[in-house]
Structure 1
Amino acid sequence: MSRTFRAGLVTFGLLSVADLAGPLLTDGEHPPMSIALIGSVLGLISLVLVVIAWRGERRAVVPLIVLRVLSAVSALPAFFAGDVPAAALVAAGVLIALTAAGTVLVLVPARELAGAR
């Protein structure tokens, strides 16, 4: 397992833990509790997939990326809804940026391995 791949998994793991904390950090409106709970479920499943991928099961990577992207997409309405606090907008932006970075980090080794063959 390359350092790049591990860095991507660590990024996804941190995002997953942050999603798990979502219901505890929300005021019920930003994000709405329903979105925070959905994010928590995505975070829990993602965390399980991170552990599976860390143990060498590459087939866990695609579902992991899909779940992390779904989590990032759930943050997009913050940019279009009114009266969203600046802190929530920053958190949504960081979530989206880290999801993109984690995806790239996890996929780069796959391209490196394919090129080496």
Structure 2
Amino acid sequence: MSRTFRAGLVVFGVLSVGDLLTPVLTDGEHPPMSVALIAAALGLVSLVLVVLAWRGARRAVVPLIAVRLLSGLSAVPAFFAGDIPAIAMVAAGFTIALAIAGTALVLVPARELAGAR
């Protein structure tokens, strides 16, 4: 397992823990509790997938990327809804950026290995 792959898994793990904490951190409106609970479920699923990928289960990587990008996409409405606090918009942008960065870090080793063949 390369350093960049591990770094990507760490980024995904941090995002997953953040998603798990969303119901505790929400005021019930930003995001709504239903959205926070969905985020927590996605966080739990992706945290399990991070652990599996860390232990060497390569089959967990594609679903992990899909779940993390889905979680990142769920933050996009924060930019279009009215009356969203600035801190929530910053958090949404940060979440999206980290999801993209984690995906890139996890996929870089795959490209490096393919180029070495």
Same fold (TM over 0.5): yes
Tell me which amino acid in the other structure corresponds to 2:75. Answer: A
Cross-structure match for 1:80? 80
Identity %: 77
Q: How many residues align?
A: 117
TM-score (norm 2): 0.99
Cross-structure match for 2:10? 10
TM-score (norm 1): 0.99
| 1:67 positional shift | 0.2
Q: 2-side partners of 1:80 and 1:34: how far apart?
A: 18
Q: 1-side partners of 2:107 and 2:17: how far apart?
A: 21
Deviations 1:27-82 (A, max 9, x none): 11101111110000000000000000000111100000000011001101000000
Q: 2-side partners of 1:14 and 1:36: how far apart?
A: 16
Q: 2-side partners of 1:37 and 1:112: how far apart?
A: 37
Cross-structure match for 1:112? 112
Structure 1 unmatched ranges of 5 or more = none
Q: Deviating runs (4+, > 4 A) in structure 1? A: none
Structure 2 unmatched ranges of 5 or more = none
